[in-house]
Structure 1
Amino acid sequence: MEKQSEFVTRLMGWLNQASEVAQGWLLSPAAWSQFALLALAVFAAVYAARRIAPLARRMLNPGDKDTAVATTLRFALRFLPLLMPLLAYGFTAAGEEVTRSLFGSGDVIALGKRVFFFLAARLFVQQVLRDPFLKLLGKYVLVPVTALYAVGLLDDIALRLEETIIALGNIRFSVMALIRGLIAGGLLFWLGSWSNRQSADYIKKQEELRPATRELAVKATEVAIFGAAFLLLMSIMGIDLTAVALLGGALGVGIGLGLQQIAANFVSGIILLIEGQTTVGDYVELDGGEKGTIVKMTARACVLETFDGKWIVVPNEHFVTTRVVNYSDAGSANRYEALFSVGYDTDINKVPAVIEAAVAALDFVLQQPDGPDCELRAFGESSVDFAVEYWVNGVDDGKNKYGSVVLFAIWNALKAAQIEMPYPHRVVEIKNTEIKGVMPKGMI
């Protein structure tokens, strides 16, 4: 009840003060002159905005161009709704200087100036801001703050928040510092995220850099941006950075003891990016049998995409401590082989020329560093076994299916040359010909 009565008393005091100010304005010739200047400022702002806005639209219209200058012009056009309240704010500010020099008072026109600033802030949030986070921040922070500024209560409320202290152990800070830190933190990390996206897009467009170098530059830029944002936030909140350094040292020891694998993967990721032996786009095979194309490299792991579309997340440490076969790092050309067999009745001296010519005719088979090479591998039970080796520009990861096309070419070439591809034959001889009185006539 006492708190409620105290609030009611304070509210009544504010109302009485506002009533006295209003009565003073109504009875003061200086106040009436300020009202007249305020009306004149509004009229001049509306007239000037109507004349300037069409001209600005014509001058700043970028058309259908998609350049950096055109993007900047489109961004500038979004501020045209603020033209009238900002002009009114400027005119009333000039009128305030005039009335204070003539009458020694300018409270009325100063109130009008603050109201126009509030209107400009409200239009800025409603029509200019498009990012959801910035729009939310403007709606619940910028508009209320400018409203308090317009009615002249901002300084009193800010002073009261500064005097309210929160203590957490040896750390003491005011409510105002906490609010300022939350707002600044939100803005800084939004700006850091935006800057990181822009810098990452720019770095990834630099084709002259190796993919590993681009990834390393992106990660380094990200760490630098968010590290600077964190330090700046600590400074804004008034937190002693020496205490943060001690806390960081303690956290470092804890991370080193409890999160050794994560730390090892993080360091391994940096080593991979610096060395550049494996990077995004490489087709690799690990010692454990996992193989696929690297589609993403993070601070903790690499993501492999198999030929059937599955994603395998492999910790970075595996790329450093185990054997990794990189089919893409040594160059774009890779050698493969296709196995086939012919019958024993075939003149095997003719087979290499027939098969090498058929495989060389395929458009994806390279002649450098070596053309197709057909080799005799073994004499099997039912066939003579051959293999043809060929080079292609790429990786046969299951998507390209080089092997299937080559086998079709071998089949068609053997058929055209009338060379038989054998199948197993078995001869069964029954030595005991008398089985239950039945005498077979011969061998089966």
Structure 2
Amino acid sequence: MEPETGVEEVAETATVEAEAAAAEMAEQATEAPEVLAEAAEDLGHRLLSDAERVLQGVMQPWNAWQLLILFGAFALAHLGRAWLGPKLHDWMRHREGWPRWRMRYAVTLHRRLRAVLFVTLLWIAVAVVRQLDPLAGAAVLRIAANLATGWLFVALVSRLIVNPLLRGIVRYGAWAWITLRILDLTTETARLLDGLAIQAGDLRISVLLVLKAALVLGVAFFVARLLARSSAHRIESNREISPSMQVLAVKLSQLLFYGIAVFVGLRAVGVDLTGLAVLSGAIGVGLGFGLQKVVSNLVSGLIILMDKSIKPGDVISVGQTFGWISTLGARYASVVTRDGKEYLIPNEDLITTQVVNWTHSDNSVRIDLDFGTSYGDDPHLVRRVAIAAAAGCGRVLEKPAPVCHITAFGDSSVNYLLRFWIDDATAGLTNIRGDVFLALWDAFKAEGISIPFPQREVRVLDGSALRVARPTAE
């Protein structure tokens, strides 16, 4: 009977806990609309009171004059844009040799020229009004100038973001925040957006949190991308760093900057990263079993970049593939052959299989050609003519100089080995072999040196049943 009693107690405890959780969620569900309604009501009252205050202020003569100054500044900015815009455009067209980023900013300023003139005229008007009547103040002009300046700054800075979606999120989010900040409506708006939330246990996700996360992460990724591009340019322009280490340094810097951006962005919006650490550990275990090949290629790529065994521009042979390395990726190496084919070889194969790197420590490559001449030709003359013919080819190096050696006395020829060096294996090996063979042919023909070919002589013995047909006289 005791086990049955224990089961009943456990079931009763679970039921009580479930009822308590349901009651808590129901209470939160009933409280959420009240909080939202209260926040919306506060925001509505604040907007109405501000609107009334603005209307009352507009009725005053001095504020009405400020509005007229505001409209006048906008009209002058529009006229200035119509007059100055074409001249600035013509000036930009004659700017030769400008970097791309500078021209891009010039185009952005040209498109925002009216806003730039408007902001400039507003601040001039604010300064003039304060000088003429310091006691009256210039509240309307000052608020308009602050809003226009903030909107213009966001519009110019957001152009640096290449991703259109991210650029739109940052731009409109920053515009909304600046407007609310200048109008002093941030508290009521934040309370309203924070009330629009989803509660799941200890996890609470509100619209305010999502907006803050999007804005902060957008800015963080923008700064990370800017720093990554700047560091990549500096690394690639440093000639003292090998190409393989340049690739490694660029990838590590990108990983570092974007990792810091994610960490700082999540911490800035108040996300607890302890749970993410546990989750990332579980995901890592799953990836270790399911993506072994991918992880192996990634690790192999890091090893290749660190030990400098293979780098972009090297000429390699992997199995039947011969070509030069175009790029080294995180998962594969791109090898381009002479016929234009591009092979994507996994990094793991470059580590575990035999790879011939023709330009690992030196760009010089030795090529051997075998040929033969008849026994009637002077071997000393043959060697001199062969060396001179090879040296006359454009791609053959003078040092080390070509050499020619006798390798064997064959059945029908004296066999030679012609050895020479080149330093541009990326230009091809088969073509230089063909050029040297053609030079040998022309040189041997000019010197009367013959290249024999196998010949067979058939003799008919006496008493053989084979008869030789003899021509009969007519």
Shift of 1:239: 1.0
Q: Distance in 1 between matches of 2:64 and 2:332?
A: 68
Partner of 1:83: 116
Shift of 1:388: 0.5
Partner of 2:397: 366
Partner of 2:362: 331
In the alignment, is residue 231 of structure 1 matched against residue 263 of structure 2? yes
In the alignment, is residue 345 of structure 1 matched against residue 360 of structure 2? no
In the alignment, is residue 440 of structure 1 matched against residue 472 of structure 2? no
Bigger drift between 115-124 and 406-415 goes to 115-124
In the alignment, is residue 392 of structure 1 matched against residue 422 of structure 2? yes
Q: Secondary structure at the match of 1:202?
A: helix
TM-score relative to the length of structure 2: 0.72
Equivalent of 1:207 in 221, 239, 243: 239
Shift of 1:303: 1.5
Q: Distance in 2 between matches of 1:374 and 1:212?
A: 38
| Pair 168,94 (structure 1): closer, same or farther in 2 beyond 3 Å | farther
Shift of 1:293: 0.9
Q: Distance in 1 between matches of 2:424 and 2:452?
A: 33
Paired AA for residue 64 in structure 1: E
Shift of 1:280: 0.8
Shift of 1:144: 5.8
In the alignment, is residue 276 of structure 1 matched against residue 308 of structure 2? yes
Q: Distance in 2 between matches of 1:277 and 1:425?
A: 49
Shift of 1:406: 0.6
Q: Distance in 1 between matches of 2:53 and 2:361?
A: 87
Show CA shifts across 1:119-157 (max 9, x none).
Answer: 74797599x678462653466545566677798876544
Q: Distance in 2 between matches of 1:398 and 1:144?
A: 61
Equivalent of 1:218 in 244, 250, 257: 250
Partner of 1:252: 284
| Pair 392,424 (structure 1): closer, same or farther in 2 beyond 3 Å | same
Say whether the 8 Å CA contact 2:397–2:423 is kept in structure 1: yes
Say whether the 8 Å CA contact 2:126–2:138 is kept in structure 1: no
Shift of 1:409: 1.0
Paired AA for residue 119 in structure 2: L
| Pair 243,135 (structure 1): closer, same or farther in 2 beyond 3 Å | closer
| Pair 102,147 (structure 1): closer, same or farther in 2 beyond 3 Å | same
Partner of 1:35: 64
Q: Distance in 1 between matches of 2:226 and 2:108?
A: 19
In the alignment, is residue 183 of structure 1 matched against residue 215 of structure 2? yes
Partner of 1:420: 450
Bigger drift between 77-86 and 170-179 goes to 77-86
Show CA shifts across 1:169-227 (max 9, x none).
Answer: 54323221112212333343344334333322331121122112212211121111111
| Pair 383,336 (structure 1): closer, same or farther in 2 beyond 3 Å | same
Equivalent of 2:337 in 297, 302, 306: 306
Paired AA for residue 415 in structure 1: K
Show CA shifts across 1:74-115 (max 9, x none).
Answer: 4795564332442466478779999xx979996x66775676
Q: Distance in 1 between matches of 2:58 and 2:424?
A: 88
| Pair 344,366 (structure 1): closer, same or farther in 2 beyond 3 Å | same
Q: Secondary structure at the match of 1:313?
A: strand
| Pair 269,165 (structure 1): closer, same or farther in 2 beyond 3 Å | same
| Pair 346,132 (structure 1): closer, same or farther in 2 beyond 3 Å | same
Q: Distance in 2 between matches of 1:389 and 1:27?
A: 99
Structure 2 unpaired stretches of 5+:
1-32
Partner of 1:293: 324
Shift of 1:422: 1.9
TM-score relative to the length of structure 1: 0.77
Show CA shifts across 1:41-71 (max 9, x none).
Answer: 55467669989997x979x989435369966
Say whether the 8 Å CA contact 2:196–2:207 is kept in structure 1: yes
Say whether the 8 Å CA contact 2:57–2:63 is kept in structure 1: no
Equivalent of 1:262 in 294, 302, 320: 294
In the alignment, is residue 411 of structure 1 matched against residue 444 of structure 2? no
Bigger drift between 249-258 and 109-118 goes to 109-118
Partner of 2:196: 164
Partner of 1:401: 431
Structure 1 unpaired stretches of 5+:
none
Shift of 1:415: 0.4
Q: Secondary structure at the match of 2:275?
A: helix
Partner of 1:355: 386
Aligned residues between the structures: 424
In the alignment, is residue 319 of structure 1 matched against residue 321 of structure 2? no
Q: Secondary structure at the match of 1:296?
A: strand
Show CA shifts across 1:246-289 (max 9, x none).
Answer: 22222333333332322222222222212212211111223x34
Paired AA for residue 318 in structure 1: D
Shift of 1:302: 1.4
Say whether the 8 Å CA contact 2:395–2:422 is kept in structure 1: yes
Paired AA for residue 441 in structure 2: W
Show CA shifts across 1:10-61 (max 9, x none).
Answer: 89x969975x87677666687332222232355467669989997x979x98
Say whether the 8 Å CA contact 2:244–2:306 is kept in structure 1: yes
| Pair 380,294 (structure 1): closer, same or farther in 2 beyond 3 Å | same
